[in-house]
A and B are shown apart, each in its own frame.
Chain A
Amino acid sequence: MKKYSTEMYVIGLALLLAFAITTLNTPTVFPQETVLFSKAVRGPLPISDPESEFWTTLPSIQFPVAGQNITTPMLLGVPIKQLTVNSANNGTWIAFRIEWSDATRNVNTSRTEAFRDAVAIMFPILNETKPPFLGMGEAGKPVNVWHWKGDWQQDIDTGFQDLEHAYPNVQVDYYPFANTTQPNTIPPLTNFSVNFVAGWAANNPLSNPFKVTPVEDLIAEGFGSLTHQTHQDVIGKGVWKDGRWRVSFARPLSTSDGSDVQLRPGQTRFVAFAVWNGENSEVDGRKSISNWHTLQVESVFPEEGILVSRSLWQVAGVGGAFVLSVAILLAVAHDWRRKTRAKQ
């Protein structure tokens, strides 16, 4: 057998070293399925504070997202981005924090050409071994989408962004069905008869000026089927600072709504993400999406709860086994004694 030269060993070692350094030091970008660990914690989750230090204590996974090019409208020619995601649950609620860099803060959609920044989490509603079609589910295999919107966040933070916010100098002589005593003033949309605000009258959640949460709870069975749910169960908050969005989402692990994904501690589910850059007119299918990944919901209180329960079970188990063994021994002894007596 031919012996390898010293140079070959050096090159091999160098390659190995390079590989080790690369894999250890670069951000962990996983081209394939990755496991997002929802850490079990005790007490309340900082669900309305996406900037809390708490999130940095959690395992963080970086998910690459690329322009959606499965169906039109597509997002082409946009570099791959990265979402950093953390998750935690306290046995009752589950929370996520998504972080990504975005140089511009787009939170107003009043102008025809203005689009919002947004981010979404998607879960298959059915707990099956294979995820449904990544394009927002498929017939019979619905997905639950939690969609955070920059403009809804702004509505909640600073009040409904009305026409006059986008156009401060707007001047209108007269609106026939506005509740106002002042001529030549622009009353807020909420002073108008809802009958003449078509989207609002049609119960379109986008048109309702009263926003409760920046996160819309949706269901879909494939492209174009995205539908606002009757029960809105997701809350959250987004904060933009120094070119980064940090958005938190939270929902009870289980809800009474059949259109929602139901999560249980100890469970493994599929999860996918999408992000929109309003500055680049990204809206609808023009988004960056991740693959399906795995979400592992850790059982509650692993440090204490499970240990306590485990020792309890152990005590019970050992005790039970001891009692059982004694009983069997006694029974056997009793039987043996009887038999010997009978022989005598």
Chain B
Amino acid sequence: MPKVYNWQISREMQYPYDGVRPKRQFGAVFNINRCINCQTCTMACKSTWTFNKGQEHMWWNNVETKPYGGYPQAWDVKTLSKLGPQRWENGTYVGKTIFEDAPQGAMVLGYLPPDDEWRHPNIFEETPTPYPQIDGGKTQGWSELPVHQTFFFYLQRICNHCTYPACLAACPRKAIYKRPEDGVVLIDQERCRGYRKCVEACPYKRPMYNPATRISEKCIACYPRIEQGLVTRCIAACVGKIRLQGWIKPREEAIPDSPIDYLVHLAKVALPLYPQLGLEPNVYYIPPRWGPREYLKQMFGPGVEAAIEKYTHPDHELLGLLQLFGVTQKIIERFRVTDTDAIAYDKNGHEIIRVPIEDPVIVRPPQHFNTT
């Protein structure tokens, strides 16, 4: 089996195909700290792509409440417990990925969620969970409000359009492909034969089986919009402005003024979801400040402490870039932060939008105090 380099785990790993990266890779950063669980993203996706018969259970975008929520139910802990305890050492993952731990006769370590695990998209919604229940009381100083002995946070999920997709690796028909122009991972609806190997292999459980067409479907990263330079529906519709879409390079080739590269590689404030599984997922998360660190490290890898520190004490440039989340439907290719403004540019270097880093304070004159 060929070896590929996965920068998220700082090592080479086994993958059934050669490591050919696309010309550009779709990437996004979701800021968990700002999500209000309104599910506008979910409905934007649903009303665009999955409104038809056979797609009733399909939520290519969903927002679930951690630690207990999950769609399909318990998708993350099921894969983690199959993989068993694994270790990171000094930023390098020394455990096994789901490719390296594949059972005999299979390409990937996975499981096929039966249909009753797809019944409850928002199970355990906003269920507060005591810290010790999650991390055995290891987390100290988790909050500045000691009265809060419990936590939960929202996890916004779409397909990660992984650099090393497990769905693609597991498909015996090569009916899944990664587009060279933007790294979007798609299931060929003509070649798919409904084997459900992708549903079984993807640890994020993003490919979903359509009972009406008897083949599988998945998030398409709204590629018709990307082709027009527009961000996806879920990202465009986000009320809380928690999402930013762009392009992601491997760490060694990071472009400093590319917004996703800056957040992921330079500021290191955004982290991949379960990087230890080995897929190099391309949706990155700014972890929640209030989450128990041990739990967050399991979810986002060893960069959690530094990311939260950076996010809670941002420098001027990061603060500026954070203002560009959700302010335009166009894909931001480059950004620049001045003393007062954050500026976004398209691929031709034209300015898309300019936003102030701090909104001007306007004091209402006394005669208008009581007017609306």
The yes or no answer to A100 lying at the interface (CB within 8 A) is no
A200–B52 Cα gap in the complex (Å)? 12
B240 to chain A, nearest CB (A): 27
Residues of B within 8 A of A189 (CB): 53-54, 212
Residues of A within 8 A of B170 (CB): 73
Task: Say whether B189 contacts A110, CB under 8 Å.
Answer: no
Stretch of B24-32, B151-159, B190-198, B356-364 that contacts chain A: B190-198
Please report which residues of chain A, range 215-237, place their CB below 8 angstroms from some CB of chain B when the two chains form the complex: 223-226
Interface mask (B234-248 → A, CB under 8 Å = 1, otherwise 0): 000000000000000
The yes or no answer to B87 lying at the interface (CB within 8 A) is no
The yes or no answer to A76 lying at the interface (CB within 8 A) is yes
Listed in ascending order, the chain A residues whose CB lies under 8 Å from chain B are 69, 71-76, 109-113, 151, 162-163, 166-167, 170, 172, 175-178, 186-187, 189, 192, 196-204, 206-207, 223-226, 281, 283-285
Task: Say whether A204 contacts B213, CB under 8 Å.
Answer: yes
Contact of A73 among B188, B197, B215 (CB under 8 A): B197
Task: Say whether B53 contacts A74, CB under 8 Å.
Answer: no
The yes or no answer to B173 lying at the interface (CB within 8 A) is yes
Task: Say whether A199 contacts B192, CB under 8 Å.
Answer: yes
Please report which residues of chain B, range 103-126, place their CB below 8 angstroms from some CB of chain A when the two chains form the complex: 104-107, 112-115, 118
Task: Say whether A73 contacts B53, CB under 8 Å.
Answer: no
A190 to chain B, nearest CB (A): 10
A284–B198 Cα gap in the complex (Å)? 12
Interface mask (B163-202 → A, CB under 8 Å = 1, otherwise 0): 0000000101110000000000000111111111101000
Residues of B within 8 A of A175 (CB): 51-53
Task: Say whether A197 contacts B53, CB under 8 Å.
Answer: yes
Chain A residue, CB-CB nearest to B208: A112
Please report which residues of chain B, range 48-78, place their CB below 8 angstroms from some CB of chain A when the two chains form the complex: 51-54, 56
Task: Say whether A113 contacts B115, CB under 8 Å.
Answer: yes
Q: Knowing A111-B115, A204-B189, A223-B172 are in contact, say whether A198-B105 is a contact too (CB < 8 A).
A: no
Task: Say whether A112 contacts B51, CB under 8 Å.
Answer: no
A-B contact pairs, 20 of them (CB 8 A): A72-B107, A73-B197, A76-B104, A109-B211, A111-B115, A112-B113, A163-B54, A163-B211, A172-B53, A176-B52, A189-B212, A197-B213, A198-B210, A198-B217, A207-B189, A207-B214, A223-B172, A283-B194, A284-B173, A284-B195
Task: Say whether A199 contacts B195, CB under 8 Å.
Answer: no
Chain A residue, CB-CB nearest to B107: A72
Task: Say whether A163 contacts B115, CB under 8 Å.
Answer: no
Chain A residue, CB-CB nearest to B217: A198
Task: Say whether B172 contacts A72, CB under 8 Å.
Answer: yes
The yes or no answer to B284 lying at the interface (CB within 8 A) is no
A113–B54 Cα gap in the complex (Å)? 15
Q: Knowing A111-B211, A163-B211, A198-B217 are in contact, say whether A74-B54 is a contact too (CB < 8 A).
A: no
Chain B residue, CB-CB nearest to A69: B105
B267 to chain A, nearest CB (A): 39
Q: Knowing A69-B105, A74-B104 are in contact, say whether A113-B112 is a contact too (CB < 8 A).
A: yes
Task: Say whether A162 contacts B107, CB under 8 Å.
Answer: no
Task: Say whether A204 contacts B53, CB under 8 Å.
Answer: no
The yes or no answer to B131 lying at the interface (CB within 8 A) is no
Q: Knowing A226-B193, A284-B172, A285-B172 are in contact, say whether A162-B212 is a contact too (CB < 8 A).
A: yes
Chain A residue, CB-CB nearest to B214: A206
The 8 closest A-B pairs by CB, nearest first: A74-B105, A199-B213, A207-B213, A202-B189, A110-B211, A113-B114, A284-B195, A202-B190
Residues of A within 8 A of B214 (CB): 109-110, 151, 199, 206-207
A189–B105 Cα gap in the complex (Å)? 36
A206–B53 Cα gap in the complex (Å)? 16
The yes or no answer to B335 lying at the interface (CB within 8 A) is no
Contact of B172 among A162, A198, A224, A281 (CB under 8 A): A224
Q: Knowing A111-B114, A202-B189, A204-B215 are in contact, say whether A197-B52 is a contact too (CB < 8 A).
A: yes
Task: Say whether B118 contacts A112, CB under 8 Å.
Answer: yes
Residues of B within 8 A of A112 (CB): 112-115, 118, 196, 199, 209, 211
A199–B212 Cα gap in the complex (Å)? 9
Interface centre among A75, A224, A284 (most CB of B within 10 A): A284
Interface mask (B247-290 → A, CB under 8 Å = 1, otherwise 0): 00000000000000000000000000000000000000000000
